[in-house]
Amino acid sequence: MRDRLILLPGWGLGISPLEPLAAALRGVDEHLQVHIEPLPALDSSDLNEWLDELDATLPDNAWLGGWSLGGMLASELAARRGARCCGLVTLASNPCFVGHDGWPNAMPAETFDAFLAGCRADSQVTLKRFGLLCAKGAADPRGLARLLVGGAPNTPSEGLMNGLELLAQLDTRDALLAYRGPQLHLFGGMDELVPAEAASELLALLPEVEIGLIEQAGHAFLLEDPHGVAAAIQAFLHECVDD
């Protein structure tokens, strides 16, 4: 199924942010089957349970990709599947979303803790704040934030909390090092959630993979320029297939 790409969404906002990109990808390659898979709705923040659910649901021998949390999960699933995964594409996905001594170019732990506390107190207000952070760096940040939050599913607070707790513990560096298939990782130069410096840090960790920085773009660059992102992904897929 080298003609199938599965995309996983980010935290809280559902599949809507990925739909323009999926449409653009189908437009540049009519043979490419693009499927957006919602994140699992689990009463758990245990990574293995999330991966078990995705592994059982998604077809083998496809390209795996995702935005933000979705890209981190795609990375872990690619490592688990090994040769059963054609390749990996991540969009605005930091190997560690929350910073620590081993990976400083990420969200400060105290900022994330405040975000977690805000979600526990009022998940809908926190989701709106998250939409604004995703849209920063865009030409029309308020309009983009409204679009992001307006298309979000009505996820219970507990489900949102589980996703955040999973996000806090994820460290995909070992998975990215273990996965031997082709990889493309794209970052936004004006991302408020994933520092642009993470791109160069990832390149130092994985010098053999393709890493790109879209300089004038925020966390939601896949919505700002779906056709440009689709062209970059399509060029990567074709280069890998030709090889």
43 labelled catalytic: no
Could you list the beta-strand ranges (E) of 4-53: 4-8, 33-36
Annotated catalytic residue: which of 68, 75, 93, 123? 68
- Tell me if residue 140 falls in helix, strand or coil: coil
Q: Read off the tokens for 2.
A: 């080298």
171 labelled catalytic: no
Annotated catalytic residue: which of 75, 171, 219, 225? 219
Q: Read off the tokens for 178.
A: 């273990």
Own/partner contacts of 115-118, CB < 8 Å, gap of 24 or more, are 115/164, 116/161, 116/164, 116/165, 116/168
In angstroms, how far apart are the furthest CA atoms of the chain? 51
Count the neighbouring beta carbons within 10 Å of the beta carbon of residue 194: 24
- Tell me if residue 1 falls in helix, strand or coil: coil
How far is residue 206's CA from residue 190's CA, in Å, rounded to a whole number?
22
φ, ψ for residue 33, nearest 5 deg: -90, 115
Annotated catalytic residue: which of 93, 171, 185, 191? 191
The residue type of 148 is: L
46 labelled catalytic: no
Strands 62-67 and 4-8: parallel
Catalytic residue ranges: 68, 191, 219
